[in-house]
A and B are shown apart, each in its own frame.
Chain A
Amino acid sequence: MTQTSARFPAMLANLNTLLSRYGESMMWLARYMERIENLARLLEVTEAFVRNPDGSPGWDSILQINSDEDRYAAIYPLPATEENILAFYITESTNPTSIRAMAHMVRENARSARPLISTEMWMQLNVFTRSMMELSTPDIRRHGLSGLCNRLKQDCQTHFGITEGTLYRDQAWLFYLLGKYLERSDQITRLIDIRYHTLLPSGETSGSQMDITQWGSVLRSAAAYHAFRRLQPVTTTPANVVGFLLKNEGFPRSLMLNLRQVDSTLSALSTHYNLRHQCGPLQERIINMRATLEDQTAEEIISRGLHEYMTYIQDELAALQAEVSATFWPAAPVTVREEISIPQ
């Protein structure tokens, strides 16, 4: 009998065999886990800190951040009540932005990518998603909203930690990172856009001192409060907060840092996995976005129109996601490239 292992040495060297479906699943796995963590933080901060002018918790702003107003109104009466908002965002399986629906999506993507992800990752996701999908309203009441949100954040962070420590670093990892950084970029722009305009509705000057608690809550929603304090111990102005969340180079959820990470992830795919051809146009888009961010101060962005700029970034991110999909997992039948169809 011939030595099979000696006859087929090239198997391990074949770097370009990541299935498109795996790339897609890894990307969405990361995006949904980021989204769950983010939503948990938002719910918790809203309950504790965000107030309407009459002093009641500002639940409406969550609907705006997630662009969920219409979907919500289709299921529940307006104005939004705390009970309905929590049901909508935690247990409502017909709402795709609820914890339950997102946990389901995480589970499907994790099952699809199960041949690739580490056993430790799978075990934690298996237990986490199952318990989230079984969450009921009495569970929420029993543990309290902040108890639940803390658990959610912790489970998400456990996932990110296990992944960092155990997932093999190949293309699957890079697509996972791409999803994570794109999601963070998107989330931070949504948060800034909505909260800025609910706090400063009528063109008040952005440089003025304002309600410290409310702007603190914006920072807390992005887990940025203490980092910001360290950097800006004296003055909290809207422009400072916006500038920190958009442009800070060291804060893990700032737009600047995440766009840079998207760029370097694409570079890694391009150079290490011979995907130059595919990554080129994607990187160009990112470079343009980064340039608009680097070339303006926060004050300039605000005076030229913060909402318009945030919309521009969100549109660009959506276009980038669509291009990633069309490039790496095209839905339409692919034609065989010539170099491949040469008979073996």
Chain B
Amino acid sequence: MNRPVLQSPIPSPASAAQAPAAKAGMFAAYDTSDFFCELMRRTDEMPPSLQTVRDRLAGFDLDELRHRTSTAEAQLYRLGITFTVYSDREAIDRILPFDMIPRVLTAAEWDHIDRGVQQRVKALNLFLRDIYHERHVLRDGIIPADLVLNNPNYCEAMVGVRVPGDVYVHINGTDLIRDRSGRFMVLEDNARTPSGVSYVIENRHMMLRLMPDLASGMPLRSVEEYGLKLHQTLCEVAPEGVTDPQVVLFSPGIYNSAYFEHVFLAREMGVPLVEGKDLIVENHRVYMRTVAGLRPVHSIYRRLNDEYLDPLAFNPDSMLGVPGLVEAYRRGNVTLANALGTGVADDKAVYAYMPRLIRYYLGEDPILDSVQTNICAEEEGLAYTLANMDKLVIKPVGESGGYGLLIGSQATQTELDEFRAKLLEDPSNYISQPVIDLSVSPTLCPSGVEARHVDLRPFALTGKNTWVLPGGLSRVALRKGSLVVNSSQGGGSKDTWVMAR
């Protein structure tokens, strides 16, 4: 096998400033256009650790990289690290395409993200506690009461219910993007059941197996701790007085497209993966059916949306849920993570108020910027949106996964007209934002190494404290020019390297 030659000690700042190797080898034809490149940066501010990665990569042979990529994808398939796509007739197991070129974050960048995410999670939890109890934030006029109380994700069943440690969002995923100057911005919060963390860890394993020559000696922060920390978090928020809590992961079951991740997390935590039929509620307490009879359950990491959890409380047709679960929860006999009703906090309309909510609850300026957001429910926001449709991204507030959005600059006149009609019909269902030129990262493509847009989803766990996994899911839009990174729409992923120094 052709191993690339490794001869790249960390260069001195002087040689980094000249950055002579930037366009060498594999990167000879690499063009970032005007976008911020995660690896190339600007030549005058090249952090030494990135320089090393770049120089090593430049020495790789394209065919060798392709060969390793196909090995990686075959392994993912064999390992069953797949998500299931359902067509009319059959279930197809797909892998999330894996790009061998890592996305690298410096220690300073990570410090900024870490603090920013912690701050945001803190504000989200304070906001949720407030709107389900005293509602100061509404009385003080910080956010329109209508937007919160009439939000489809506002959960009446949670009003007045105390949750352990006042933690609502135990597991949070914050979607970050970078603009042309490299500034990080929050694109959205995922405070319901954010997914993808298993790929963070599996991507790292794949990287260490197949690119040892790239990773060797690099000061990478480990992502191994996640399962342990997750279990610890779920123990910390167990109902009061329980000394040895039984934690379970509650999955919709083997037909769910994210079943692999549920298996992965249950195994990493060493707890049972349960389905609805494995749980039963008696006397407002939750039990699981074991071969030795019923055993009490105290903390449930649930990977089902609110509406499927309990046919008695929500959707009566749900076959996935557990009758009586919500009442047991309301009585404090079991903890759900995340709490019920967190969807109101990661709503796209509420997002627009996050900077104000951070200032209100914490008395601090937001550490991470937000994307400027026009709320179409408001007259001013709607007028601006209608006047600038061709320059904006318009999103329905209730959808996730990149569905139903319009990117004005890429739409035809017909599409614009159709969308305008939808928008006028139900303005409060939409928000709009300027197009952010997502940063790019060198990515192996059929015609060579090319620039592709990426985002970043760090994961935060909150029990007694908040801990942010030093890494994150870097999703990459594999189609040239595309800004949509979602796996359901042709996205892939990269290993995310957070440098310790």
Contacts and interface: CB of A to CB of B under 8 A. Distances in A.
Contacts of A328: 291
Nearest to B75: A123
A205 interface: no
Interface string A220-241: 0000000000000000000000
Given A115-B267, A329-B291, A344 B254 contact: no
B427 to A, nearest CB: 44
Chain B interface size, as a band, is: 35 or more
A115 B232 contact: no
A215 to B, nearest CB: 42
B243 A275 contact: no
Interface string A309-344: 000000000000000000011000111110011011
Contacts of A21: 275, 277-278, 289
Interface in B279-334: 280, 282-283, 285, 287-296
A112 interface: yes
Interface stretch (B120-128, B208-216, B234-242, B411-419): B234-242
B294 A337 contact: yes
A337 B283 CA distance: 12
B342 interface: no
Contact of B243 (A8, A20, A123, A329): A8
B272 A123 contact: no
B294 A7 contact: no
Contacts of B293: 334, 337, 340
A106 B245 CA distance: 33
A128 to B, nearest CB: 11
Nearest to B251: A115
B246 A17 contact: yes
Given A7-B243, A8-B245, A112 B254 contact: yes
A74 interface: no
A122 interface: yes
B305 to A, nearest CB: 21
B267 A274 contact: no
B266 A115 contact: yes
Interface string A175-210: 100000000000000000000000000000000000
Q: DSSP class of B's interface residues: helix, strand, loop or mixed?
A: mixed
A119 interface: yes
B464 interface: yes
A159 to B, nearest CB: 15
A274 B282 CA distance: 24
Nearest to A21: B278
Given A108-B254, A115-B266, A275 B465 contact: no
Contacts of B291: 16, 18-20, 23, 171, 175, 273, 275, 278, 328-329
A21 B80 CA distance: 21
Contact of A123 (B80, B289, B294): B80
A7 B79 CA distance: 35
Contacts of A51: none
A289 to B, nearest CB: 23
B283 A127 contact: no
B273 interface: yes
Contacts of A4: 232, 235-236
B287 A336 contact: yes
B67 interface: no
Given A8-B245, A115-B263, A126-B78, A340 B272 contact: no
Contacts of B283: 336, 341
A114 interface: yes
A191 to B, nearest CB: 31
A114 B273 CA distance: 9
B197 interface: no
Nearest to A275: B292
A291 interface: no
B274 interface: yes
Contacts of B78: 123, 126-127
Given A19-B272, A122-B80, A278 B235 contact: no
B292 A16 contact: yes
Contacts of B63: none
B244 interface: yes
Contact of A340 (B244, B274, B277, B294): B294
Nearest to B282: A336
A329 B289 contact: yes
A20 B274 CA distance: 10
Interface string A15-29: 011111111000000
A123 B296 CA distance: 33
Contact of B288 (A19, A122, A126, A343): A19
Contacts of A23: 291
Interface string B370-400: 0000000000000000000000000000000
Contact of A11 (B236, B244, B277, B287): B244
Nearest to B240: A344
B110 interface: no
A-B pairs with lowest CB-CB distance, top 9? A10-B244, A16-B292, A111-B254, A328-B291, A336-B282, A115-B273, A20-B289, A4-B232, A126-B80
Interface of B: 78-80, 232, 235-236, 241-246, 254, 259, 263, 266-267, 270, 272-275, 277-278, 280, 282-283, 285, 287-296, 464-465
Given A112-B254, A122-B80, 6 more contacts: A14-B246, A21-B278, A175-B291, A273-B292, A274-B292, A329-B289
